Structure 1
Amino acid sequence: MTDRLPNLWPLWLRAAWQKRMWINSAPCWTNSVEEIMDEFLLGLFTLSLGGSVLVLAIMGLSRLTRSRYAARWRCVVWLLLCLRLAVPLVFTFPHTTPVQIPAPALDRPVAATAPPSSQPLPTLPEEAQDQTQSLSIAQVLCVVWAVGVGGVFLWSVGSHLRLRRYLKRWSIPVSDQVICNRYHAQAQRCNANRVPPLVHCPGLQVPMLAGVVHPVLMLPEHVEANQMLDYALLHELIHYRRKDICLKVVAIWAAAIHWFNPLVWLMVRQVEQDMELACDEAALTVLPPQEHRAYGETILRAAAQKASH
């Protein structure tokens, strides 16, 4: 009788009943916070391990194919890897458990339920309560990881803010017309439509491009308008045109996410080296061949001065 009873109902009532049964049998998300932490840590370590393998593979292939492929292509590969490492998410569907709720028996008498008892509920022993309140290994690892990420981000943001505050207080716009003319001439040489502001900065030894949102090209306080300055300006303007600062920011972001992995920090160092090589390659393409040697000597001298300070 109960099996055939729904067939005797009106059409709209049977449709409503079927809809209710479909909703009751829908998947129920049963992942707890601890399970989510376990999955996140597993995905993070898996991503970091895979990234380490790719870092070693790219570095090995770059040594074998250095003469065949330019450094700018390695920068593209580094950018793709950094973007993947910077997003520590594993795109998987959570585990679902279907819950089946049987249909109520309409012709069966409903059993009388006993009134609720006034007896107190049993309590867990103190040792069991301490175990339930203690942190799991996944929670401890997540806290340690978050502290490390926050430390790297605070260090990076703090360094940037200190530099901006230093520039705001001590930098002086370049007023020498000869230097300004040389600056715009190098911008035309490398096809830079827009140029960053040019300022003098006391305590600086070599020209340097700094800033993420509003880049500034900084010059030493006392600088001579000669060919060496032209090469240094050309080098920094190519960095500005290539948006190398964006690649460096993404690499540092990936290093902050994977701060526990030394190979990721090695990747950041390799990214900086390949950015410099790509910039030098671009500079040599716009310079005449007779100036290549002088440009190389200027860059090596600037690198030595930067390393000594």
Structure 2
Amino acid sequence: MKLLNTLFEITIYSAVLFAAVTGFKLAFKNKLSPALHFTLWFLVIARLCIPMTIESGFHLFTVEQEKPLVQQQIPEASAFDAPTPAAMREAAPSEALHSEASAPVQEPLPAADSPKPVFTIASADALIALWVAGMAFRAAALLFGERRLHLAMAHNTLPTDARTRDIYDACCAEFGIAHKLPLQSMAGIYSPALTVSLKPMILLPANITDTLTDAQLACALRHELTHYRRRDHLLMLLLRLLTCVYWFNPIVWLMKRELMKDMETACDSAVTARLNGTERREYAMTLLALFSQPCRANSVLGMALSSAEKDAERRVRGVFGAHRSKVPVKILAALLSALLLACCFTTACQPT
């Protein structure tokens, strides 16, 4: 019962956070840097990862409970019913004997209705069983996909040529990466990609040297190495775990899709922040070359995307856009974060 109530509470809070973050991003769409667009989603991720709500010392809403009023009616004695002193003396012994028996017994007041749980005991076991079954199904689907990837890598990987290895070594030296990630060429993919694993590797299309120039290949490798330095592969593992636990929550799936888009744009911005205008144009040409592949919907620089034309336009705009948010926008984002932390991570908004 407590588990279901906790899941229900986190689902409501995550919906509020998703709506607030989405609204803020739309209101200041062109004034937020790609990094800030990406960072705001961590409010939703934090709420999904914390299985408890912190008790606050104050509550914004107070519900007053109605108290039953009990009035005791006392009969008024009339002048005609008043006993005489003699009658009072004669009746005193008998009244004393029967005073306790004749006294009215006051029944206890009915207790106030206690708050009813969100889920009844009858349905709790069935819902928990359904939740566990959904987690098992989602985990099995992820394991099956991972198994297919490993089988494809075992049968379709090819050794990289000397030209590609030289460019890769230069990019690793540029990023200061001493322990280089494994680099393999693979048939059947159409864009470079960083695998989602605790031990990631970079996969390149088998024909990438035929479609990209040396400068464009260096841009693609810088993009994947930036993903690795930012630990985006670990974040993707966390998102997969969250989709297992909250498979029933549509907010998790929507947040994952939007976060992945912002992750790619933030990675593009991080790569091009140190480049000059000519190098940025070369990077944009690399994006367009990869998006123009016949099967571009499969993967574009590690991202499986829909509506490729719109995504290509958004990412190219991100390359040439502002890499930092202005101070007033940062202040507004900080105030929004503080407000959401107080309202959605504590019991401040829960009525008492």
Give the conservation status (yes or no) of the 8 Å contact 1:86–1:253.
no
Could you tell me how far apart the structure 2 residues matched to 1:47 and 1:75 are?
A: 21
What is the CA-CA distance between 1:140 and the residue it aligns to?
0.6
C-alpha distance after superposition, 1:12-34 (max 9, x if no partner): xxxxxxxxxxxxxxxxxxxxxxx
What is the CA-CA distance between 1:142 and the residue it aligns to?
0.7
Who is 1:84 aligned against? 47
What is the CA-CA distance between 1:245 and the residue it aligns to?
1.1
C-alpha distance after superposition, 1:255-290 (max 9, x if no partner): 222211212110000110111011000111122221
Which secondary structure state, in structure 2, belongs to the residue aligned with residue 286 of structure 1? coil
Query: More relative contact order in 1 or in 2 (CA 8 Å, sep 6+)?
Result: 2
Could you tell me how far apart the structure 2 residues matched to 1:58 and 1:307 are?
A: 30
Give the conservation status (yes or no) of the 8 Å contact 2:183–2:201.
yes
Could you tell me how far apart the structure 1 residues matched to 2:4 and 2:231 are?
A: 33
Give the conservation status (yes or no) of the 8 Å contact 1:85–1:254.
yes
Could you tell me how far apart the structure 1 residues matched to 2:271 and 2:253 are?
A: 27
Who is 2:194 aligned against? 209
Could you tell me how far apart the structure 1 residues matched to 2:50 and 2:241 are?
A: 9
Which secondary structure state, in structure 2, belongs to the residue aligned with residue 200 of structure 1? strand
Give the conservation status (yes or no) of the 8 Å contact 2:200–2:233.
no
Who is 1:42 aligned against? 5
Who is 1:52 aligned against? 15
What is the CA-CA distance between 1:87 and the residue it aligns to?
4.7
Who is 1:292 aligned against? 280
What is the CA-CA distance between 1:167 and the residue it aligns to?
1.6
C-alpha distance after superposition, 1:75-95 (max 9, x if no partner): 334235324314545678xxx
Who is 1:143 aligned against? 129
Q: CA separation of 1:303/1:75 partners in 2, compared to 1, >3 Å: closer, same or farther?
A: same
Alignment coverage as a number of residue pairs: 229
Could you tell me how far apart the structure 2 residues matched to 1:47 and 1:190 are?
A: 39
Give the conservation status (yes or no) of the 8 Å contact 2:197–2:233.
yes
Gaps of 5+ in 1: 1-37, 93-134
Could you tell me how far apart the structure 2 residues matched to 1:304 and 1:152 are?
A: 33
Could you tell me how far apart the structure 2 residues matched to 1:206 and 1:57 are?
A: 34
Question: What letter is aligned with 1:205?
Answer: Y
2:141 matched to 1:155? Answer: yes
2:227 matched to 1:239? Answer: yes
Question: What letter is aligned with 1:209?
Answer: L
Question: What letter is aligned with 1:285?
Answer: A
Give the conservation status (yes or no) of the 8 Å contact 1:198–1:218.
yes
Which secondary structure state, in structure 1, belongs to the residue aligned with residue 203 of structure 2? strand
What is the CA-CA distance between 1:193 and the residue it aligns to?
4.0
C-alpha distance after superposition, 1:121-156 (max 9, x if no partner): xxxxxxxxxxxxxx8211111111111111112111
Gaps of 5+ in 2: 56-120, 299-352
Give the conservation status (yes or no) of the 8 Å contact 1:171–1:199.
yes
Q: CA separation of 1:55/1:158 partners in 2, compared to 1, >3 Å: closer, same or farther?
A: same
Given candidates 220, 230, 255, the residue that maps to 2:243 is 255
Question: What letter is aligned with 2:215?
Answer: Q
Who is 2:35 aligned against? 72
What is the CA-CA distance between 1:68 and the residue it aligns to?
3.8
Q: What TM-score, normalized to structure 1? A: 0.67
What is the CA-CA distance between 1:200 and the residue it aligns to?
1.1
In the TM superposition, 1:271-282 aligns within 5 A as 271-282=259-270
Who is 2:290 aligned against? 302
Who is 1:196 aligned against? 181
Question: What letter is aligned with 1:250?
Answer: L
Could you tell me how far apart the structure 1 residues matched to 2:29 and 2:216 are?
A: 28
Q: Percent of aligned pairs with the same residue?
A: 28
Q: CA separation of 1:83/1:291 partners in 2, compared to 1, >3 Å: closer, same or farther?
A: same
Could you tell me how far apart the structure 2 residues matched to 1:268 and 1:76 are?
A: 13
Give the conservation status (yes or no) of the 8 Å contact 2:198–2:234.
no
Give the conservation status (yes or no) of the 8 Å contact 2:186–2:206.
yes
Who is 2:99 aligned against? none
Max Rg structure: 2
Could you tell me how far apart the structure 1 residues matched to 2:37 and 2:191 are?
A: 27
C-alpha distance after superposition, 1:39-71 (max 9, x if no partner): 211110110111011012112212233444433
Question: What letter is aligned with 1:258?
Answer: Y
Could you tell me how far apart the structure 2 residues matched to 1:191 and 1:278 are?
A: 20
Could you tell me how far apart the structure 1 residues matched to 2:171 and 2:254 are?
A: 33
2:218 matched to 1:230? Answer: yes
Could you tell me how far apart the structure 1 residues matched to 2:40 and 2:140 are?
A: 27
